[in-house]
Amino acid sequence: MSLEFQLVDELREKLQEANLTKEQISKIVPPTLLKRHQHSLPAYEVNSYKKLKEEAHRRLNPQLPPAKPKIPRGQQKRYLQEFQDAKAAGKFAHLSEETLKQLEEEVKAAATDAEKAPQLQEFLQATQEEAGSSEACSPEHLQPRPQDAPASDQSSAAPVEEVIPPPPEFPSDPWQAFIDYMAAKPEATLPIPGSEGRVLERGKYKGKGIAVFTSGGDSFRISSSNVLQGMNAAVRAVVRMGLYVGARVFFIREGYQGMVDGGDAICEASWSSVSGIIHKGGTVIGSARCKDFRERSGRLKAAKNLINNGITNLCVIGGDGSLTGANLFKDDWPALLQILVKNGEITEEQSLKHSHLNIVGMVGSIDNDFCGTDMTIGTDSALHRIMEAVDAIAATAYSHQRCFILEVMGRHCGYLALVAGLTSEADYIFIPEYPPPQNWEDKLCDKLQQERAMGQRLNIIIVAEGAIDQQGQPISAEDVRKVIVNKLGMDTRITVLGHVQRGGAPSAFDRLLGCRMGAEAVLTLMEATPESEPCVVSLDGNQTVRVPLVGCVLKTQAVARAMHDHQWEEAVKMRGRSFARNLETYKMLTRLKPPKPAEGDKANGGTATLKRQDTLWNRDSSHGGYNLAVIHVGAPACGMNAAVRSFVRNSIYRGDTVYGIHDGFDGLIEGNVKEMSWAEVTGWIGQGGAFLGTKRSLPEKNLEVVAERFREYKLHSLLLIGGFEAYNSLVQLYEARGKYKEFCIPMVVIPATISNNVPGSDFSLGCDTALNEIVEICDRIRQSAQGTKRRVFVVETMGGYSGYLATLAGLAGGADAAYIYEEPFGIQELQLDVCHMAAKMAEGVQRGLVLRNENANENYTTDFIYRLFSEEGKGLFSCRQNILGHMQQGGSPSVFDRNMGTKMAAKCVTWLMDTMAKYRKEDGTVYCDDANTAVLLGLQGRSYGFKPVSELKALTDWERRIPKSQWWMFMRPLLRILAKHEAAYQEQGINVKEVEEALD
């Protein structure tokens, strides 16, 4: 006990020995002298630690009244229609008008009452069989009878048993089944926008039951169970969003096996049961194979267990096999209920109450092999593990002049190998959707030999585990190694990454994806109707959407069928536009040398034919010979080098010249401009920073010199890569076109800044890498306090006035609060967060995390918030503060930034080429003053787009250097819902000092 408590106890004992009353004690020693807190408003309520814990437990586990069974609307209509038919047939003609009216009212009431529904059904059957019977048609027949009372119509014929349909089967021809399904429902694969950002009413769906389970490699696939990074984030989101809307949420442990076994495998979840899991890989609720679920007998057990727990809403997190099983379960549900009723395992009332099963899926697969979503949970984290291995191997391979072969996962889909090859500058890839040519052995060796002759010291080849040749025969990493060793004699090593790709902490992207999908899945289930089809919550661009499950599953199976039939082009096409673009970009960027004119080309004008790897590329010679320049403006950001590499090689590939402007506009003014070559940008894609150099200087004060440099190098177009300064620079160049004709050329900006504060784009290069750095550091910070008592960390992030990093890092890191400039906060919000932290600690949670953007508030600084939590948390938790600083800008670019930079630069080259060709004059110069020729390339919603900076200018808060509208503000409600303890929604004090309790 502290000295303070000892003094108080001594004082209390002396006062008790004096036998003084409370009034006398208060005159001698005012209670306020022994209280630490002298707050006025809002008043603090005195609670002991024990009382606070009991109150939190009561709020987190409310005793909800049992939901009254409901009869489906279609069943109600059928009952009423049968009664009207009997009435029209004159079967109630013997009854008086008053009695008939009373009977009709009771029939209407019984049609909506599950308790009276069996008697109503019996009454209607008796009416049809015994026309004119006064006993059968009496109103008293609808009153519930005691269970032991014999039925009044035992002599009537037994009802005809309903035919139980056979179990559903998988289609033997998935492609034909997909064609038939699309013909019947052409909108089957069209995405429906989700509810993200919508204001939600707390407790709106009280009484509903939701179950969540994770499954991989289930009974419908003979494979090991798969657990993926990001699953825990999805589970956490489902539980906390479900509790927020008032539903009861259940865990089903060990996937389908737990559903079949029942018992303790199905348990109710609480808010604290998912605390501290968002940063963990795998799944905390387990995943296992289940052969029993493949048979109807196993599904009968699963259905009974769900009904006994009041569950009619299932959230499935797994691959296409798991989702296929869930869809089969839903199709078989009515038949399963009939069998359970017939066997006496459930009652008719239970059958009516649980007559419909709602299914929603979230795709978890590192292969990204599910049609209907751009990214699946676990894919980004797996790519992170692959990139870490590639970056580590590159160093030793370069030192020893070795050739390394990496085998990555992808039994049926080559997405991992393709993107890994694209973002690591791999020399060759082998994927199942695009087998190598017949003589791939010779082509591979020729390429490696030429690269070594040019001075390249390392070679990386990536092989998907499901790689095949043109005849469908497997190509293993060992097969590739033997070819290289036997033909070239190179020192070649194999690295099989295996399950390393499934391990480790999930990336920030997968955590955010799991959070967004989990929350949307709950809302989808709550809004489902008996007529709703099972759907998959997926990601389309930057938007959560709902896609029908059946169409996606059939299309995914059709891709496998196309590959089996050696229809490679069809398989690539069905994988989606993103997959096809990745493949085409990879083939172009990995060419050894720029194209050379083929024999027979015309010397003067006409059409030039340029050799490519597999095809001939025809273009008019008047479209060639352009001079393009690339420049960085602003702070460095990861992904800049990847964009420059892609821009240089795309431009040279088309036969044009690229100038690299070093050190921004300062370097341009000084003439620090150099022509860039194909080999010069080798190895740039995986490097952070900006090799061209960058400065924050704007061109406004030196427009005349800048125009002179443009004229000196005869520039036909310009690419600017940078943050808000690059965007502002283009605005200045565009507005100066009237004075300097040199600026009347196509110009485009690729936003690149960790602050993500450039208007016209949802994402900027570098912000994903910074987000991963913040999340990883926060994980380490919390881990550093392992073994200590309860502790809260206050962390400051960068971003200027943009709260992007703080908000999304808070969501991905499981933060309790994130303070930003865009959402004003005051002392009441801070007090509420302290209350939340106390309620959270009362549940046994040991760690707390609070993020603050560097410019969130000029008065409520990071140090102020740290001191506030330190003072108010005395006796409950300790507090520490951390300012991350420029660590957020460092590190190697993430896979997302590498890929995004590569694609955006390729799109810019295409746009610049088309625009220059459109405005090219006869003398070879380019002149354009249209507003649509000075643009910014950004990803907004579901697609990339070029937007004139003249239009974006009105959407910009120039004083604070942020857009006036920012999409990620829609993430703020989700952040609060997933972070705030339920007790925090009630305003209460948290003075838990036992000193004050002793004075009462």
Residue 969 · residue 822 · CB < 8 Å:
yes
Q: 799 a known binding residue?
A: yes
User: Which of 644-663 are b and which e, b meaning 16 or more Cβ less than 10 Å from the residue's Cβ?
Assistant: bbbbbbbbbbbbbbbbbbbb
Counting every residue written for the chain, the total comes to 1000
Residue 113 · residue 69 · CB < 8 Å:
no
Q: 493 a known binding residue?
A: yes
Q: 486 a known binding residue?
A: no
Collapsing DSSP states into helix, strand and coil, what is residue 425?
A: coil
Report in angstroms the alpha-carbon separations of 44 from 431, 692, 826, 980, 990: 64, 58, 17, 20, 7
Q: How far is residue 945's CA from residue 760's CA, in Å, rounded to a whole number?
A: 9
Q: 709 a known binding residue?
A: no
Q: 320 a known binding residue?
A: yes
Q: 365 a known binding residue?
A: yes
Q: How far is residue 245's CA from residue 552's CA, in Å, rounded to a whole number?
A: 29
Q: 757 a known binding residue?
A: yes
Residue 848 · residue 872 · CB < 8 Å:
no
Q: 888 a known binding residue?
A: yes
Dihedral angle at the C-alpha atoms of 212, 215, 218, 221, nearest 10 degrees? Answer: 130
Of 628, 638, 708, 696, nearest in space to 670 by CA: 708
Q: 366 a known binding residue?
A: yes
Q: 322 a known binding residue?
A: yes
Q: 886 a known binding residue?
A: yes
Residue 828 · residue 863 · CB < 8 Å:
no
Q: 299 a known binding residue?
A: no
Q: To 10 degrees, what angle do helices 640-653 and 577-589 make? A: 70
Q: 756 a known binding residue?
A: yes
Q: 290 a known binding residue?
A: yes
Q: 307 a known binding residue?
A: no
End-to-end Cα spacing for the chain:
20
Q: 696 a known binding residue?
A: yes
Q: 854 a known binding residue?
A: yes
Question: Environment class of residue 683 by beta-carbon count within 10 Å: exposed (0-12), middle (13-18) or buried (19+)?
Answer: middle
Strand arrangement of the beta sheet that strand 535-540 belongs to: 192-193, 543-548, 535-540, 358-363, 313-318, 209-214, 248-252, 266-268
Q: 296 a known binding residue?
A: no
Q: 289 a known binding residue?
A: yes
Q: How far is residue 649's CA from residue 74's CA, in Å, rounded to a whole number?
A: 63
Q: 887 a known binding residue?
A: yes
For residue 789, give the DSSP letter: S
Cβ contacts of residue 358 below 8 Å, gap of 6+? 312, 313, 314, 330, 525, 528, 532, 534
Residue 614 annotated in active site: no
Half-sphere exposure of 712 (CA within 13 A, CB side): 14
Instruction: Give Rg (Cα) of the chain.
Output: 34
Q: 532 a known binding residue?
A: no
Q: How far is residue 807's CA from residue 817's CA, in Å, rounded to a whole number?
A: 9
Q: How far is residue 80's CA from residue 67's CA, in Å, rounded to a whole number?
A: 24
Q: 215 a known binding residue?
A: no
Residue 39 · residue 828 · CB < 8 Å:
no
Q: How far is residue 107's CA from residue 123's CA, in Å, rounded to a whole number?
A: 10
Q: 402 a known binding residue?
A: yes
- Write out the H or E segment, with its range, that includes residue 899: helix 895-918
Q: 760 a known binding residue?
A: no
Q: 465 a known binding residue?
A: yes
Collapsing DSSP states into helix, strand and coil, what is residue 314?
A: strand
Structure tokens at 747: 């110009």
Q: 10 a known binding residue?
A: no
Helices (H), 759-861: 767-784, 804-813, 827-842
Q: 321 a known binding residue?
A: yes
Of 684, 776, 983, nearest in space to 45 by CA: 983
Q: 889 a known binding residue?
A: yes
| Residue of 261, 367, 374, 380 marked active site | 367
Q: 411 a known binding residue?
A: yes
Q: Which residues make up each annotated binding site for substrate?
A: 365-367, 402, 409-411, 465, 493, 499-502
Task: Detail the residues annotated as belonging to a binding site for ATP.
Answer: 217, 289-290, 319-322
Binding site for beta-D-fructose 2,6-bisphosphate, residues?
696, 753-757, 791, 798-800, 854, 880, 886-889, 961
Residues annotated as catalytic are: 367
Binding residues for Mg(2+): 320
Write out the binding residues.
Answer: 217, 289-290, 319-322, 365-367, 402, 409-411, 465, 493, 499-502, 696, 753-757, 791, 798-800, 854, 880, 886-889, 961
